[in-house]
Amino acid sequence: MPLSSPLASVLREKIYEASQNGQNSDIEMHALQPLFEMQQKLSAIPGEDELLIEYFQSNEGYHLVFYPFEGRNVHEGMASFIAKRISLLQPISFTMSMNDYGFELLSDSLLDINRVINHELFTTKNLIQDIYSSVNSVELARRRFREIARIGGLIFTGFPGREKKERHIQSSAQLLFEVFREYEPENLLYMQTFEEVMTFQMEESRMRASLHRIAKQKINIQYPAKPTPFAFPLIVDRLREKISSEKLEDRIKKMTLSYSK
């Protein structure tokens, strides 16, 4: 489950504590102390007034990693529109991955970091338009419309004990969605679908609050020689999407050995 807003806030507080004194009485933080020490050695642990960004190169390409610590849902939308804004400054393509701690933008081209990374990148100006232009909002809405259509009574799901198959319900929902999209875009249920995508899928209000917080923070850009403990889970998450005959555990072991040299 993605981090909620209160949990994300607690996580940031714990990270800030680790950046200040390096020691903590919590059992969990004590167990993570070796990772914090390695993170500090290779890069940095962000303080309360800092946004940590890491930029490093590997055999895969150039990794640009942001750590807002806001939860996966927020990072999903943030990664998309940040990548979009960077691409307007420099022609480039990105592969994205995200988790509860941050998000990664991987490219095969070198970025002019000093030119593209600044507070203007995180402005809330034209936020909604940038989100819609950077993600496939229509596809996200199409998936969500099924439940809205079901609750709204537009789709008959079958009699008790004789429910229709999910694929039939999905087909009916997609047909209705395309009809509304083509002939009745002002339909309230159709419009509600996009509103719910922004509210629940992208968590637009949390994203906006996060951007306001980042606007008051110092941007701390680090250039580690290899992936840090904060970045490693993002790289592993991207590996899950690749087709390989190797087990994920074996690939992680190989990566760990290569990075530890």
User: Between residues 125 and 140, which one has the greater pLDDT?
Assistant: 125
What rounded mean pLDDT belongs to the chain?
Answer: 85
Query: What is the pLDDT, as a whole number, of residue 4?
Result: 81
Query: What is the pLDDT, as a whole number, of residue 73?
Result: 85
User: CA 62, 64, 67 angle in degrees (round to 5)?
Assistant: 155
* Nearest alpha-carbon partner for 80 in 46, 119, 127: 127
Summarize pLDDT for 2-27 with one digit per residue, the tens: 788 888 888 898 888 888 765 566 78
- Residue 261 pLDDT > 70: no
Query: Stretch 137-153: mean pLDDT, rounded?
Result: 83
Q: What percent of the chain has pLDDT over 90?
A: 33
The residues that bridge with 103 in the sheet, in sequence order, are 66, 98
Query: What is the pLDDT, as a whole number, of residue 216?
Result: 92
Summarize pLDDT for 49-71 with one digit per residue, the tens: 999 999 999 888 999 999 999 98
User: Between residues 131 and 108, which one has the greater pLDDT?
Assistant: 108
Query: What is the pLDDT, as a whole number, of residue 244?
Result: 47
Cβ atoms of residues 78 and 68 within 8 Å: yes
Confidence band of 42 (pLDDT split at 50, 70, 90): very high
- Residue 240 pLDDT > 80: no
* 222: exposed, middle or buried (Cβ count in 10 Å: 0-12, 13-18, 19+): middle
Q: What percent of the chain has pLDDT over 70?
A: 87
Confidence band of 105 (pLDDT split at 50, 70, 90): very high
User: Between residues 222 and 254, which one has the greater pLDDT?
Assistant: 222
Query: What is the pLDDT, as a whole number, of residue 117?
Result: 93
What is the token pair recorded at 235? 């790289």
What is the token pair recorded at 11? 């996580």
Summarize pLDDT for 211-237 with one digit per residue, the tens: 999 999 999 999 999 899 999 999 888
